[in-house]
Amino acid sequence: MDKKQKKWIYLSLAFSMVILVFILATTFNEDTILYLSQINILFLFIAIGLRFVSFSLWAARIKVMAASLGYHVKYSHCYNMVVANLLIGAITPGQAGGEPVRIHELYKAAMPLGDATAVVIMERVLDAVILVGLTILSLFVMGKIIWNMGEGLVFVIFFSLAILIFFVAILLFAAKKPVSAKEKIMRLLHWIEGKMKTPGIHRIIASTDVEFDNFCSGITAFTGHGKRGIIQGSVFSILFWFSEFIVASVILMGIGLPPSIYESILSQIIIALVSMIPLTPGASGIAELSATPLYALFVPTAALGVFIILWRLIMFYLNILFGVISTVLIFKREIST
């Protein structure tokens, strides 16, 4: 791990810790000690176990989607790339840095870059479609509550939703009219090249020219003989998000509170949407600040800070630990080959 990556890890951790300390300080009272004393470790281990279930479902999604394009990728390889991508996702804005890791690892499994890119982007498309649908549902169900949470959070929610819809629209346009989409993308890159005048932009343009064609070939395969991969990938995507969202309810039971499954899942949908905005490394701070007002609606103030800390410990801090371990395994493989 180079110095730049370490710097981003420290920044991500520091920012998250500052926000967590602030949340705990503003919610701490005499009853907080009671909640701390009755933490059930068993439920916390179950919550951690659910993280591994999530990784398994994610890995299975990659495997079946790759298989639908005609490539056999070992499940163990898929699992390790999923866990390794958590580290980069935790130190890049909006958790968006994990995609290159997965593309690289699929390439190492003898997939052409274009098909590997198509699998990873189609993953994001499925996630985006599912989150858009779930967000719209949650807005209908929790509409009155959300509108009363303040203009700032309402703006962030709708801004995030707009970005996701725009992202899906661009990819659908690229899949339906690849020539026109490529022309517009290349025109934009050449415009940027003229403004920035840096040699690196020329390399990006040359790479985009080639990889966009490869990507379109992969998307064409998905919409053709790879349709089974989209269907199976959608099933695994839904199961993945459910396993992610249910962790918070298990943590609530771990501190002696009702699971509030219905309210918690709706809150998790909003948090997942907001966390995709590329503002801070790994959405550190953003996730905590968006979760606090949502869970304050049904979690006692005295337990709120404790819950947020345990939730981020399992959903964010352990990601970095697991990611480091898997990344080390990849480095060892690269060195030995």
- Rounded Cα–Cα distance for residues 164 and 144 (Å): 23
Q: What is the pLDDT of residue 233?
A: 92
Q: What is the pLDDT of residue 207?
A: 66
Q: What is the pLDDT of residue 251?
A: 96
Domain boundaries, the chain: 3-336
Residue 281 phi/psi, 5-degree rounding, is -60, 125
Instruction: Pick left, alpha or beta for residue 94 (phi over 0 → left; psi -120 to 50 → alpha; otherwise beta).
Output: left
pLDDT for 2 beyond 70:
no
Tens of pLDDT, residue by residue over 51-67, are: 999 999 999 999 999 99
**Within 13 Å, how many C-alpha atoms sit on residue 57's CB side?**
18
Containing 90, the helix (H) or strand (E) segment is helix 75-90
With beta carbons less than 8 A apart as the criterion, state whether 308 and 291 touch: yes
Written as six digits, the tokens of 218 are 């992969």
How confident is residue 4, by pLDDT bands cut at 50, 70 and 90?
A: low
pLDDT for 284 beyond 80:
no
What sign does the CA torsion over 164, 169, 172, 178 have? negative
Poorest-pLDDT segment among 94-98, 250-254, 311-315: 94-98
How confident is residue 125, by pLDDT bands cut at 50, 70 and 90?
A: confident
With beta carbons less than 8 A apart as the criterion, state whether 323 and 86 touch: yes
CA angle 17, 302, 24 (to 5 degrees): 15
DSSP category for residue 248: H
Tens of pLDDT, residue by residue over 147-205, are: 766 676 677 777 777 877 877 787 777 777 777 877 877 777 777 666 666 655 666 66
**Within 13 Å, how many C-alpha atoms sit on residue 295's CB side?**
34
The residue ranking higher by pLDDT, 111 or 181, is 111
Beta-carbon contacts of residue 118 (< 8 Å; ≥ 6 apart): 69, 214, 215, 217, 218, 219, 221, 222
Cβ neighbourhood burial of 107 (10 Å; 0-12, 13-18, 19+): middle
DSSP category for residue 279: T
With beta carbons less than 8 A apart as the criterion, state whether 208 and 181 touch: no
Other Cβ atoms less than 10 A from the Cβ of 28: the count is: 15
The residue ranking higher by pLDDT, 49 or 138, is 49
- The pTM score is 0.82
Locate the DSSP E strands across the chain: none
- Of the candidates 229, 226, 112, 212, the residue with the CA atom closest to the CA atom of residue 171: 212
Written as six digits, the tokens of 8 are 């981003």
Q: What is the pLDDT of residue 167?
A: 74
- Of the candidates 75, 121, 77, the residue with the CA atom closest to the CA atom of residue 98: 121
Mean pLDDT of 120-148: 79
- Rounded Cα–Cα distance for residues 224 and 254 (Å): 47
Q: What is the pLDDT of residue 193?
A: 65
Beta-carbon contacts of residue 148 (< 8 Å; ≥ 6 apart): none
**Mean pLDDT score of the chain, rounded to an integer?**
81
What 3-state class would DSSP assign to 225? coil
With beta carbons less than 8 A apart as the criterion, state whether 248 and 264 touch: yes
- Of the candidates 209, 204, 205, 216, the residue with the CA atom closest to the CA atom of residue 174: 216
For the chain, the straight-line distance linking the first and the last C-alpha, in angstroms and rounded, comes to 19
Q: What is the pLDDT of residue 120?
A: 87
